[in-house]
Amino acid sequence: MNTQTTDPLAGFDLGPVLNWLTTNRDRVAEKLNWLARADGMMGIEITGQKHLQLSPEEIVETIDMFPHESHLRSELKRINGMPPTWFARGTTVENILVTDDTSEALTPTAIIPGYTAVDKWTDVHKVLTINLYTIPGVDPLIAKYMLVHALIHEYTHTLLMPMLYNGNEPYILEAPGKVQYQNAALLQLFGLEAAKHPPISHYAAAYRPFPDDLADVQFIRRASEEFCESVAAYMMGYIYCDDPERCWNPLVDRPLVKLFIENFLHGKRMT
């Protein structure tokens, strides 16, 4: 079943996702049982703690779900808690507007859970911060589940960005089996494959369709969002989408998408 919504901005409304998490909290808790483990801090600074609905240990455990080969490629330096923020009225897919005033929000639940900010991006210094925003108006446990999703999504951006935005230099990723991808190639192949399927998630639906031209900046941007959502689905074992069955086995219909994700996560940077 794939009942594509008619409102192209519906994906920016977090309300249905939070409702679904609330309805399915026990099943989600089982999927995220690794949240309870604790480990070191991996050299990532945590600021804005008072706004964070994840503990430092839960942040570390979530990032620890990524394989070591991924950690070596991330440019993440800081995770920062921020007060509630919404997609503002006037937002389009090409031009995202944000507000901290709920009366200016696209909808009362058009809540932004996370955002990756570029603090510095030169050939030698790349500094990224993941902002995680307080999710207002829900049980703290539901906010926690939503932020785990957001953190996996944003951490994936911190891995994609060095690969996609490497100036004029080649960025070569060698996947298991010695398959090599240069610069945006892996994301472009992923996008072509993902486009054969319904959007992976409620949020990803806001970024469909992809342009036909693989080199179009909108193709890269839209496919990146689908990619980050697909990695979250892969790691969590669930994701909210418009097919109630596929929510619990999100990659079941797309084995090649899963292969691109595994190649990406376990890839080693060669240049």
Which residues contact Zn ion (rule: CB under 5 A)? 225, 228
- Gap between the Cα atoms of 102 and 98, Å rounded: 10
Q: What's the Cα-to-Cα distance from 61 to each of 16, 25, 41, 54, 75, rounded to whole Å?
A: 26, 19, 9, 10, 18
**Cβ distance to Zn ion smaller for residue 3 or 95:** 95
**Cβ distance to Zn ion smaller for residue 225 or 242:** 225
DSSP reduced 3-state for 251: coil
CB of 228 to Zn ion, least distance (A): 5
CB of 179 to Zn ion, least distance (A): 25
CB of 112 to Zn ion, least distance (A): 10
Tell me the residue length of the chain. 271
**Cβ distance to Zn ion smaller for residue 54 or 223:** 223
**Cβ distance to Zn ion smaller for residue 117 or 179:** 117
Rounded to the nearest 5 degrees, what angle is found at the Cα of 161, between the Cα atoms of 160 and 165?
Answer: 125
CB of 243 to Zn ion, least distance (A): 21
- Gap between the Cα atoms of 252 and 236, Å rounded: 14
**Cβ distance to Zn ion smaller for residue 148 or 169:** 148
**Cβ distance to Zn ion smaller for residue 109 or 224:** 224
Q: For residues 203 and 229, is the Cβ–Cβ distance under 8 A?
A: yes
Q: For residues 147 and 108, is the Cβ–Cβ distance under 8 A?
A: no
CB of 265 to Zn ion, least distance (A): 17
Q: For residues 165 and 128, is the Cβ–Cβ distance under 8 A?
A: no
Within 8 A by CB and 6+ apart from 61, the residues are: 34, 35, 36, 37, 38, 39
CB of 118 to Zn ion, least distance (A): 13
Q: For residues 81 and 119, is the Cβ–Cβ distance under 8 A?
A: no
CB of 225 to Zn ion, least distance (A): 5
**Cβ distance to Zn ion smaller for residue 99 or 230:** 230
Residue closest to 264 by CA, chosen among 209, 193, 167: 193
